[in-house]
Amino acid sequence: MAVKAVFFDMDGLVIDSEITCFAVEKDILARQGYEMTIDKYTQITGKRGDDIRKTQEEMFPGLDFDRYQKEFMEEFVPRVIDVPQEVKPGFFELIAALDERGIKKYIVTSTRLPFTMKKLTLSGILDCFDEIITGEMVKRSKPAPDMYLHALEKSGFRKEDCLVLEDSIAGVGAAINADIPCICVPDLIVPPEELTCKCLCVAKTLADAIGYLD
């Protein structure tokens, strides 16, 4: 496939932030007597706002979500947003390969724009991308296809000329629902087979995507 644009998720795919986010979730939910596990956490990664609330309240009956949300934001910003995060393996190799080929690079994340800009800036990779697309720009969050369809429209390319890189269940689902070729690069868990079987491959690092560019 001759790729003309690559759509990158951010957390867990480009920057190694999900494990810290998980720790914040785990600490805050424990105060209300609930146990957050990796399996449960991966049910909310890639989602936003009301979708997270719905999933959390289903997983943790009786949860005081307003208290949870307040405490989460109080800890999430200093522990995740205000701290530089490590870049995931293979990122710079892939960026170099994309630049050599003149392939456009987009961040497509459910994270809000101010937080996205700060994360990418502190990690020193903001300038690696041609455009930033965030959750508030569309009506529905992942796994709905809206974010990737919006990115596709922004790029001006056909679906078959684009490639999505995702790590999460919701993110891979969004790419599949948008009918855009996808490579899964798992972070905390490998998404279920009913999703990964529809991907081009399940890669170990971002550098593995280089072989799918031409």
Indicate yes or no: pTM above 0.75. yes
Mean pLDDT of 15-32: 93
3-state secondary structure of 44: coil
Which of 52, 7, 54, 46 lies closest to 143 in space, CA to CA? 46
The verdict on 37 and 133 lying in the same domain is no
Last residue of a domain, one of 81, 106, 132: 81
Mean pLDDT of 141-164: 96
The verdict on 97 and 164 lying in the same domain is yes
The verdict on 91 and 195 lying in the same domain is yes
Left, alpha or beta for 162 (phi > 0: left; psi -120 to 50: alpha)? Answer: beta
The total domain count for the chain is: 2
- What's the domain range around 73? 18-81
Mean pLDDT of 181-201: 96
The verdict on 156 and 114 lying in the same domain is yes
The verdict on 205 and 117 lying in the same domain is yes
The verdict on 49 and 67 lying in the same domain is yes
Which of 213, 212, 209, 214 lies closest to 88 in space, CA to CA? 209
9 close to 2: Cβ distance less than 8 angstroms: no
pLDDT in tens, 43-78: 888 777 778 888 888 999 999 989 988 998 899 889
Mean pLDDT of 81-97: 96
